Structure 1
Amino acid sequence: MFSWLANMVSTCLRPIRRYARMNRDDTDDSSSSEDALLWCKDLEKHSCGEFSFAVVQANEVIEDQSQVVTGPDAVFIGIYDGHGGPEASRFVCDHLFQHLMGIAQANGTISEDMLRDAVSATEDGFLNLVRRTFGIKPLMAATGSCCLVGVIWKGTLYVANLGDSRAVIGSLNGSNKIVAEQLTREHNASREEVRQELRTLHPEDSQIVVMKHGTWRVKGIIQVSRSIGDAYLKRPEFSLDSSFPRFHLPDPIRQPALSAEPSIFSRVIQPNDKFLIFASDGLWEHMTNQEAAEIVHNNPRIGIARRLVMTALNEAARKREMRFKDMQKVGKGIRRFFHDDISVVVIFIDHELHGKKIAVPELSIRGFADKVGPSNFKIVME
């Protein structure tokens, strides 16, 4: 049905390899079909196990940014799903981890409050950037990013979330079956509890949530209720005029329509906890928590993040009554009509490594950009 679209754009495809070098390790059938817009690290080590990392692009300029940072005693995961452009998500990827490390080194530990402070510092930094550039680049005020970060340190998992990316943990129950537990709550106006929260916070604004194009949206514009950036929905000084109709508000905001306050969660890792899945909403549009957990549990570790992405892509093609191999021929930009940018990190927890000093690469890996550098993951230990 959609093969004409694939044929139309396939002749226009530019070489993609310079944007996304791919790991071509041989794995089994569901992961072996190449996608020119797919990037992955099939299996790497962290201080208490291994991780798998994959990203696929859909937008003309990829808006998902993601990172894994490994250290001698900890691992950091970040999923930053941008909207309105890539500027906010890139800024978060550049700065949030560094803010957290600065706070952690000053205090010799990591805590929920420190994770919250790192998110706040990142929000302040981006709004300052918007302020400095507003005169020459006003649309910076309309860029924003969801933000999902996790840190495992000294046997405890810390998670902060703004927006609708999702963290899921897979644990074995008493019957030795894998059970998925969602660790984060989506800040998305499609959820009744979020709409009620917004109406409670904005009792005088009848337009705080509006059904538009079949979807509930904050101010009729955006689905997420919490983010980094989106300055025009937070501060009247960044209001955009009618020359930007997509982001123009007929009445100035009296108080921030969106929040940058993260939901914070911590959990002591338990012996039956086997792995974590961190992913942008592009994955969860095509599978449930339990389906994803069973895929991870029932398949080899190597390439498992890629397997999750490929499963989502196959499902996206099926929903469009399209053959997957035809969808693969569709270039970035047009590909967005079929699926979103998708970022996935799977963190395996090997309990036998807890408390042991093992040699692991201390690396900072940025998804899709394929940037690998030293981790700078230093926390002063008691």
Structure 2
Amino acid sequence: MLFSWLARIAMACWRPVVRRYARMNKDDGGSGSGNEDLEPGGGSRGDGGADSLLWSRDLEKHSCGDFSFAVVQANAVIEDHSQVETGRDAVFVGVYDGHGGPEASRFISDHLFKNLIEVAKGGNISEGTLKDAFSATENGFLTLVRRSMGIKPEIAAVGSCCLAGVIWNGTLYVANVGDSRAVVGSLGGSKKIVSEQLTNDHNACIEEVRQELKSLHPEDSHIVVLKQGVWRIKGIIQVSRSIGDAYLKRPEFALESTFPRFHLPEPVQKPVLTSEPSLLSRVLQPEDKFLIFASDGLWEHVSNQEAVEIVYKNRRTGIARRLVEAALNKACRKRDIGYKELKKKGKGERRSYHDDITVVVIFIDHHDEGQNVATVPETSFRGFIDTVGPSRFSIVPSSQGV
């Protein structure tokens, strides 16, 4: 009886959360940050607003420079979620590229930064705190999946890539699962801008990733399968690391044959995918001029070097939007249509031409020691859904800036 009573209390507490993330896509349209299926609002758009699916914040301040932020929707319900959190002495960037639905990327946007602040209460940011924040977010989402499967069983097949970066005390910390990417633009010896990829792409199209999977699963001859010219894990998914995708991690989340796309002949006995992030820390040098954080929708069309040259050769204002538009123009050329024609196509239909694309450009303005730097308010920016509010980043102390 006591267990039953406790279970009812726990379910009552979780019910609003389950409703938020487990509702069907056609029902998305609530209030606040859950309103992804509305037209983007508030932020400025390119071409005088002609492309209604392209949102941007052309230039905002962070503690050691400026940032530019842009998102374009392709799917019927946008699966890219993203955020920038500015603090007095730090900046956080998150790019979350969902697949199978928006629930995982939305959950990460709501919880990853909060989890980071919670684990960093000791007053320190490190690779370890980022890793712990990823673990807490994964565990939280899997708990949600467990509680939601009775309402929406397919939530077990929803997942998201997750790229997060923090600049704190002159050091960049990056954690990544999936194939979103962080790139730094630095001035080389010849004073030319040079790109350096900071993250690994966890994608089965890469030979090293396939070999890693085969070594981890020597008993499974179908761990990677070439399907219609694309390497996929178990013939289903390309990314080898993610938040979510519960059915490929634990047998309790196996889906029935009524979901043929995600049904496995036998439930996994050990995780096929992992949420373990690759980690990097880098002391920022004077030659490091800016960082680009973007979902793979950008990198599918624009190379690392092309991207840093676009940023370096153009003015800061609207530069993230310029990168998105560069990707869209390349996508148009591949399909032999004009960009004006593309802009007339609605969400869902656009997915035949390009993916959801998120781009954040972080400019790094190195200041001399003792130089007065304007205080930046702690502010939270959410991409595309265009919400701006207070951030809790002040919890992280700092004795020096970039």
TM-score by length of 2: 0.88
Match for residue 194 of structure 1 among 205, 209, 229: 209
Match for residue 265 of structure 1 among 272, 280, 284: 280
Alignment-derived partner of residue 43 in structure 1: 59
Amino acid paired to 1:61: V
Task: Give 1:197 deviation, angstroms.
Answer: 0.2
Matched, 1:236 2:251: yes
Q: Distance in 1 between matches of 2:239 and 2:368?
A: 38
Alignment-derived partner of residue 93 in structure 1: 109
- State the number of aligned residues: 362
Alignment-derived partner of residue 292 in structure 1: 307
Q: Distance in 2 between matches of 1:193 and 1:44?
A: 38
Amino acid paired to 1:268: V
Alignment-derived partner of residue 12 in structure 2: none
Contact 1:168 1:182 in 2 (8 A): yes
Task: Give 1:231 deviation, angstroms.
Answer: 0.1
SS of aligned partner of 2:323: helix
Alignment-derived partner of residue 4 in structure 1: none
Residue-by-residue CA offset, 1:316-370 (whole Å, 9 max, x unaligned): 1110001111111010001000000000000000002776442213210000010
Q: Distance in 2 between matches of 1:81 and 1:133?
A: 21
SS of aligned partner of 2:83: strand
Q: Distance in 2 between matches of 1:238 and 1:170?
A: 42
SS of aligned partner of 1:352: coil
Q: Distance in 2 between matches of 1:24 and 1:165?
A: 24
Contact 2:181 2:198 in 1 (8 A): yes
Alignment-derived partner of residue 368 in structure 1: 384
Residue-by-residue CA offset, 1:176-233 (whole Å, 9 max, x unaligned): 1000000001000000000000000000011110011210000000000000000000
Alignment-derived partner of residue 155 in structure 1: 170
Match for residue 130 of structure 1 among 141, 145, 150: 145
Contact 1:22 1:38 in 2 (8 A): no
Matched, 1:19 2:39: yes
Cα 1:354–1:129 change in 2 (3 A) is: farther
Matched, 1:318 2:338: no
- Structure 2 stretches lacking a partner, 5+ long: 1-35
Contact 1:48 1:354 in 2 (8 A): no
Residue-by-residue CA offset, 1:61-98 (whole Å, 9 max, x unaligned): 00000000000000000000000000000000000000
Alignment-derived partner of residue 207 in structure 1: 222
Matched, 1:116 2:116: no
Of residues 80-89 and 361-370 in structure 1, the stretch that sits farther from structure 2 once superposed is 361-370
Alignment-derived partner of residue 16 in structure 2: none
Residue-by-residue CA offset, 1:126-175 (whole Å, 9 max, x unaligned): 00000111122111100000000000000000000000000000000111
Q: Distance in 1 between matches of 2:288 and 2:281?
A: 14
SS of aligned partner of 2:213: helix
- Report which structure shows greater RCO (CA 8 Å, sep ≥6): 1
Task: Give 1:34 deviation, angstroms.
Answer: 3.1
SS of aligned partner of 2:182: strand
Of residues 68-77 and 356-365 in structure 1, the stretch that sits farther from structure 2 once superposed is 356-365
SS of aligned partner of 1:124: helix
Q: Distance in 2 between matches of 1:376 and 1:325?
A: 41
Amino acid paired to 2:258: S
Contact 1:170 1:293 in 2 (8 A): yes
Q: Distance in 1 between matches of 2:383 and 2:217?
A: 38
Task: Give 1:252 deviation, angstroms.
Answer: 1.7
Residue-by-residue CA offset, 1:272-300 (whole Å, 9 max, x unaligned): 00000000000001110000000000000
Task: Give 1:103 deviation, angstroms.
Answer: 1.1
Question: Which residues in structure 2 correspond to 1:273-292 (within 5 Å)?
Answer: 273-292=288-307
Q: Distance in 2 between matches of 1:354 and 1:291?
A: 33
Matched, 1:104 2:145: no
Alignment-derived partner of residue 191 in structure 2: 176
TM-score by length of 1: 0.92
Alignment-derived partner of residue 68 in structure 1: 84
Alignment-derived partner of residue 140 in structure 1: 155
Alignment-derived partner of residue 77 in structure 1: 93
Amino acid paired to 2:69: F
Amino acid paired to 2:40: A
Task: Give 1:101 deviation, angstroms.
Answer: 0.4
Match for residue 224 of structure 1 among 239, 245, 249: 239
Task: Give 1:18 deviation, angstroms.
Answer: 4.9
- Structure 1 stretches lacking a partner, 5+ long: 1-15
Alignment-derived partner of residue 396 in structure 2: 379
Of residues 160-169 and 248-257 in structure 1, the stretch that sits farther from structure 2 once superposed is 248-257
